A = this chain, B = another copy of it.
Amino acid sequence: MVGGGRGAFIGAVHRIAARLDGEFVLVAGALSSDPARARASAVDLGLAPDRSYASYADMARAEAAREDGIEAVAIVTPNHVHYPAAAAFLRAGIHVICDKPLTSTLPDARKLKALAEKSGRVFVLTHNYTGYPMVRQARDMVARGQLGRIRLVQAEYPQDWLTGPVEASGQKQAEWRTDPARTGPGGATGDIGTHAYNLARFVTGLDLKELAADLDSFVPGRRVDDNAHVLLRFAGGAKGMIWASQVAPGHENGLKLRVYGEKGGLEWFQPDPNALWYTPLGEPKRLITRGGAGAGPAAARVTRIPSGHPEGYLEGFANIYQEAARAIRAARAGRKPPKDVVFPTIDDGVEGVAFVTACVASSKRNGAWTKLPL
């Protein structure tokens, strides 16, 4: 693991997700760019002292040289480190599981993609919401045509934790996520807008033609956007909206996706992730539950326990790690991953960074329609 030392948030999530199904064991880490914090964090996590590294570069080199070196690395640093760290491990022949967004700049994203393709290593981007069983179910229903041709995609991800100037209080998460040097040019756009956009594409399979964005920094002094209003035009004529906000009091992690086609509609809401609402046009709305009646094989693949006992965020995240494990096992055997293995790839990562880039560009041009720079 690179990053994820004391005071971090997502590192602990990755560790639980990796461990939940028993597929991964954490044995090495460069847990912080601060050496003392890195050491202390390694002790917390029970790493062998010689496998707690001062930098990702050291770690990549040393682990690649060990006979029992790591097979895969999880990169859970602030965004600007994703590129150099991932590059180091790919070059060292180590599979990479990387947090989103892929990188803090589009050039970095492109370089990383080239590198990943050349390396032949597995590259998994943890757009974790795609791991929820009912998101898989939704995707499957769209793919099977149960909604007919898709017309509308309404995605939103409101939060409220940055309603005040939290970054000024020394809160570590707020600090780096509002610092353009570390987070990239988009604030809410990059941090959560990319999730909403990725989810919309994951479920519908639609390609974006262009977008129009109006970004704001409502909190005085904030250096990145904390609210994004985005209009979407997809290839083929579907339209959509994304709203991503970190200044919407009353929302914790209110990611919601609604998809409407000629024959029906779907609604999914992350705080209640075991439910998928499906309305076949002209019939009563139906509640499809994880593990319950109406849930098909795409959801069952990533379901652990019976319906009515909620699986949550960590289980969804762990599903990404499960898929990563399957892909890595296949790679080890010189095969492609089985067809049913589904995870966000480096292409999704490039797409996400391009989305942020286009949002920022459109907003600077007064919301002009802008194509993704792909």
B-binding residues in A (CB < 8 A)? 9, 12-13, 15-16, 19-22, 147, 151-152, 154, 159-160, 163-164, 212, 214, 216, 218, 227, 229, 231, 233, 237, 239-241, 243, 245, 247-254, 258, 260-267, 270-274, 277-289, 291-294, 304-315, 366-367, 369
Contacts and interface: CB of A to CB of B under 8 A. Distances in A.
Contact of A265 (B248, B270, B305, B369): B248
Given A229-B239, A239-B227, A164 B281 contact: yes
B22 A252 contact: no
Contacts of A262: 163-164
A355 B262 CA distance: 28
Contacts of A307: 252-253
Contacts of A284: 278, 286-289, 292-294
B311 A314 contact: yes
Given A294-B284, A367-B369, A271 B310 contact: yes
Contacts of A241: 229, 241, 243
Contact of A214 (B227, B231, B285, B289): B231
Given A20-B19, A265-B251, A308-B271, A367 B212 contact: yes
21 contacts: A9-B305, A16-B304, A151-B218, A151-B247, A212-B214, A212-B231, A212-B367, A229-B231, A247-B260, A249-B260, A249-B261, A250-B285, A273-B310, A284-B287, A284-B294, A304-B314, A309-B312, A309-B313, A310-B310, A312-B314, A314-B315
A284 B266 CA distance: 14
A62 B48 CA distance: 31
Nearest to A213: B231
